Each structure stands twice: as C-alpha cells, then as structure tokens.
Amino acid sequence: MKFKNARTAVAAVAFAALAVCLIAGVATGTWCGFGANDIAVLCPVGALLSMVAAKTLIPRAVLSIVVAIALVLLLGRLFCGWICPVTLWRRVKEFFKPVKTREQEAEALSQANQALAAEEIAALKEASATHDCAACGACHAKRNAPFDSRHAVLGGALLTTAVFGFPVFCLVCPVGLTFAAVALLVSLFGAGDLNWSLLFVPAMLVIELVFLRKWCGRFCPISAFMSLISRFSRTGMPVIDNERCLETAKGTACSRCATACTFDVNLRHPDLGELPLHDCARCGDCIDACPTSAISFRVVSGKPVPFADALSTVRSGGKAKTSAAPALDDLEPEEA
C-alpha cells in the first residue's frame, strides 16, 4: 500500500474512533484534549493559549507541552502527516479537483522543481572547480526561512488570547471544528437542535481549508509550534541513499521527491523547498515517488545534508560511475 493511502487510513480510523467515542460517551476526548480517565494531554497550542488566557500556570497544560515537545523531537510533524483530521479534508478536497487540473498542477510543480535542481547541479559543477562551494552557497537562493507566516499566526493567536482572555484560536481551529461538526450532527439528528453553529462550523472549515491556500504550511499555528521543535529532531526522517539517487549518482535533475511532498518540503535540496526540511511530516510520499527507491525512513536520520555535500560525498566516494563530473572532495560539511 502506498504511504498516502496508509496514512489516510490511519487518520480516518483514528478520527472515526474518536467520533464514535464522542457519540457513545467514552471519555477519550478529542485531539484538543486526549486521554483516558485522569491521564490526559492537551493540544500543546490549546495548553499554551489556555495558560495565557487564564494568566496562570496550569500543571497539566505544562506537562502536555513537555510531552508534545518530546514527541515532536522524536517524530517531527508526524501528527500532521498521519493523524490530523485536516489530512482527511485535504483528501476530500483533492477528490473534488478535476483530474486534469490536478495533473496540470503536478506537471507545473515538477517542472519548477526540476528547473531548480538543474540550476543547482549546473552551478555546483561549474563552481566546484574554482572555489569552496559550501562556504559560498551562491549556486542557489534559499527559498525558505526558519520562521514563516505560520509563526506569525501563532504569535497572533497568543496576542489575541492575551488581550481577550480566552483561547480565540481554538474557536476556529480546523481540528477542533471537525470534532465540533460531529457533535453538531449528533445534536441535530438526536435532539433536532438548530443553531448558528450549524452555519459557522462548516463555513469556517470551508474558508480555512478551501479558500485559504495551504492551511497546513502557511497558516496553522499548531504546525508552527511543531516546526519550532522539530528543527532539533534527528530521528525518523526519510534519508536518501546518494549512491542510488539520480541527482547525486547521475547528475540528472529529478526532484520527484520534492514534487510528491504533501508538505512542500524538498528532501533532495532542503534549501529549495517552500518549507525547510524540518517540516517533514514523515508522510512517506517521497519514498513512494522515488524512481530508484533510494529513499527510506531511518530511525536515526541525523542532521539534514545540503545537496552540495551529498553530491561531493558521492563523487569522492570513488564509486567512479559518474567520473565525468569534476571531483568535489575538498568540500567541508556546511553548518545547517
């Protein structure tokens, strides 16, 4: 089974289980606050906002944040790839997109990514002969930043919560709204309850997930929180076998891994993705997309390697398959 289907299934089963518990009255909670009996963790953003609103330290909220940090350190934004119900909404949205549009978009993205890759490969080939490539970095423009619009939204959520004294973002969080929709359906069909939430909840979900492009990578403050921590994660990432990768082994601009990435990360050229590599959600789409099966998940994945270093490592490795290109063995690993 492809990773994309596997993680959709995981998210769907997890969501369905919680929805059934909500209907049946088993106190598991939702992803906003999840647990059994007295043991529960809060959503780290909810926990943070709750404490800001109440202007107090809430022991369980602090503990929840610590747990979340530990999980993100181990697994990065795995939640985004495998559990978050927004994953399911994305599949629904994708389903309703005409096949032709989808193909055109994928093609355009593929060409853009290949062009970027070709540019970097060419620049490296040319530059490596003359100067220290890694120290210069002039062969490509960095297309992502350590902080982006999501972090601004997170800041806005903290600010408005402090000003108005209640977790404002929680009202519009698509994760919470998805569960709110379940509860609303129950009260609509159970008690015939008609109210304004029946309009508000679907309207907010549509605005956030249809009209705002790329909610997860550009708006979501939960994703922002996780990306603050995941940059220190060195485990569970997909890693490229440079001996088999078309780009490093043959010098072909392929970048299918970047094109396939649901989360706008570029595994081969980390600086060229819309989001930095630490936003990897361990979704596995790159593994499925790789034409030479060069990518696999590693338990200990280590520090992300810039393309220039990967290329020079292969060239200097003496495998001699691609001796046409100049050797780059005088390169030092670059600080990320």
Partner 1 sequence: MAGGNPLTRRTLCIGVGATVAMAGLGALRYVGSEPLVRPPGGQDEENLVSRCVHCYRCIEACPEKVIVAASLDAGVLNTRTPRMEFSDCYPGQLDDFRYCDFCAERNGGVPLCAAVCPSGALQLPVDYAPETEVIGVAVLNTETCIAYRSSFCAFCHDVCIQVRGEENAAIYYQNADAADALDTRLPVVDAEKCNGCGACEAVCVSAQAGSTMNASERAIVVKPLEG
Q: Which of residues 173-192 bind partner 1 (CB under 8 A)?
A: 176, 179-180, 183-184, 187, 191
Nearer to partner 1, 201 or 295 (CB): 201
Categorise residue 276: left if φ over 0, alpha if ψ from -120 to 50, beta otherwise.
beta
Contact 284, 7 (CB under 8 A): yes
Q: Candidates 3, 4, 15, 33: give the one binding partner 1 (CB under 8 A).
A: 33
Decide: is 167 part of the binding site for partner 1 (CB under 8 A): yes
**Residues 205, 203: Cα–Cα separation, whole Å:** 5
**Residues 115, 124: Cα–Cα separation, whole Å:** 14
Nearer to partner 1, 47 or 249 (CB): 47
DSSP 125-159: HHHHTTS-HHHH-TTS-----SS-HHHHHHHHHHH
DSSP 72-87: HHHHTTHHHHHT-THH
Tell me the per-residue interface mask from 42 to 81 with partner 1, x by CB under 8 A, - otherwise: xx--xx-xx--xxx--x-xx--x-----------------
Decide: is 196 part of the binding site for partner 1 (CB under 8 A): yes
Q: Which of 146, 174, 172 is nearest to 161 (CA)?
A: 172
CB of 77 to partner 1, least distance (A): 19
Helix orientation angle between 174-191 and 3-24, rounded to the nearest 10 degrees: 50
Cα separation of the two ends of the chain: 34
Q: Candidates 172, 185, 228, 325: give the one binding partner 1 (CB under 8 A).
A: 172
Residues 217-256 that bind partner 1 (CB under 8 A): 218-219
Q: Candidates 142, 298, 319, 321: give the one binding partner 1 (CB under 8 A).
A: 142
**Residues 93, 27: Cα–Cα separation, whole Å:** 31
Decide: is 202 part of the binding site for partner 1 (CB under 8 A): no
Q: Candidates 72, 78, 116, 153: give the one binding partner 1 (CB under 8 A).
A: 153
CB of 100 to partner 1, least distance (A): 28
**Residues 100, 120: Cα–Cα separation, whole Å:** 30
Q: Candidates 117, 157, 258, 295: give the one binding partner 1 (CB under 8 A).
A: 157
> Which of 35-43, 65-73, 106-114, 311-319 is the region at the interface with partner 1 (rule: CB under 8 A)?
35-43
Contact 238, 296 (CB under 8 A): yes
Nearer to partner 1, 42 or 286 (CB): 42
How many residues are given for the chain? 336
Q: Candidates 86, 121, 133, 168: give the one binding partner 1 (CB under 8 A).
A: 168
Decide: is 109 part of the binding site for partner 1 (CB under 8 A): no
Residues 259-288 that bind partner 1 (CB under 8 A): 271
Helix (H, G, I), strand (E, B) or coil at 302: coil
Q: In what order do the strands lie in the sheet with 39-42?
A: 29-30, 33-36, 39-42
Give the tokens for residue 247.
């780009």
Residues 10-29 that bind partner 1 (CB under 8 A): 21-22, 25-29
Question: Count of residues binding partner 1 (CB under 8 A)?
Answer: 73
Contact 171, 160 (CB under 8 A): no
Decide: is 32 part of the binding site for partner 1 (CB under 8 A): yes
CB of 322 to partner 1, least distance (A): 29
